[in-house]
Structure 1
């Protein structure tokens, strides 16, 4: 029935790169699900805090501060996560397309990690910067730490760790995946 096929061992470099891709993919899906589930509550808590400080809740929307996750952002994040899982599976099977696409996708993820994700990890600093750049003196007087604490308090405590893990995996992890898949033993696996 089946031809006697030899299974070749997966080199450690490819195994580690694939594990990093699986983990990063999982964090994208978890963060998206968490945002979809708890985002509205976080936004509501932030609006309540802004109101408590004596400002209209519209200051958040005017400044494009939204702790919720829109449908499009959830779909994009889940698709990225599934793409990373598929690439990890291709790499484990020795499919050369997986190696090439991993170099491309992980490079793009690295850029995302450097440009977009720091705002999710360092919320207070990012929002303070947004408010300072606005030129609006009212925005500058908002207690951003209290605002962020209110929003973060509306989501499970573990979610901050997942967001931080995603940031580290998207930046350092992406570089590691690219380098690991360039190692000669990895290249031979795809040969």
Structure 2
């Protein structure tokens, strides 16, 4: 009886992995929530800076450049956050599917983080190419970011640095022997009890 209880008890690596997945999910909700709260002002600030530089703000819409993080831009982060949260709940519940799906999807999240990091690093050059050599793309980006409170920008930077590490940690934790043993399919105990009674 004690052995069965011990086997069913969730090991610490699984609990930590699931908690990290919930932190990961929360991190990916920062951008959508910020977009909903400040999006219109951010877009207006970017357009005002273009006007100050003597350019038409319509150049942004013409090239499908948005600073407000609205509409379809919300789909990817929200979907990522919901998926990570569901995987965390499955892992906390000891579902084998949760571990298997995590080991498949979490590396994809890691690649997504790398893509986001590289796109953020190159966004100034991307905007400069759109606006042309006479424009100051960095000033437009600075104007848009100035709308956000400082703590929110800091939280975004921390998220960008930590979520790849979280993905790696979750994968490693769920590959540990204790986690593998916890999710291993266990034989039902009822038939053995019945046979013992017989």
- Shared fold (TM-score, shorter chain, > 0.5): yes
When the two chains are superposed, the root-mean-square deviation of aligned CA atoms in Å is: 2.2
For residues 131 and 146 of structure 1, do their structure 2 counterparts lie closer, same or farther at Cα, with a shift above 3 Å needed?
A: closer
Q: Residue 50 of structure 2 aligns with which residue?
A: 50
Q: Which runs of 5+ in 1 are unaligned?
A: none
Counterparts of 1:141 and 1:12, CA distance in 2: 57
Q: Residue 25 of structure 1 aligns with which residue?
A: 25
Q: Residue 103 of structure 1 aligns with which residue?
A: 103
Contact 1:63 1:131 in 2 (8 A): no
- CA-CA distance at 1:175 after TM superposition: 1.8
Counterparts of 1:96 and 1:38, CA distance in 2: 40
Contact 1:25 1:81 in 2 (8 A): yes
Is 1:39 aligned to residue 36 of structure 2? no
Q: Residue 175 of structure 1 aligns with which residue?
A: 168
Deviations 1:71-116 (A, max 9, x none): 2332442232122111112112221111011112212111111113
- CA-CA distance at 1:127 after TM superposition: 2.4
Give runs of ≥4 in structure 1 deviating > 4 Å. Answer: none
Max Rg structure: 2
Counterparts of 2:9 and 2:54, CA distance in 1: 63
Q: Residue 86 of structure 1 aligns with which residue?
A: 86
Q: Residue 154 of structure 1 aligns with which residue?
A: 147
Report the TM-score, using the length of structure 2 for normalisation: 0.80
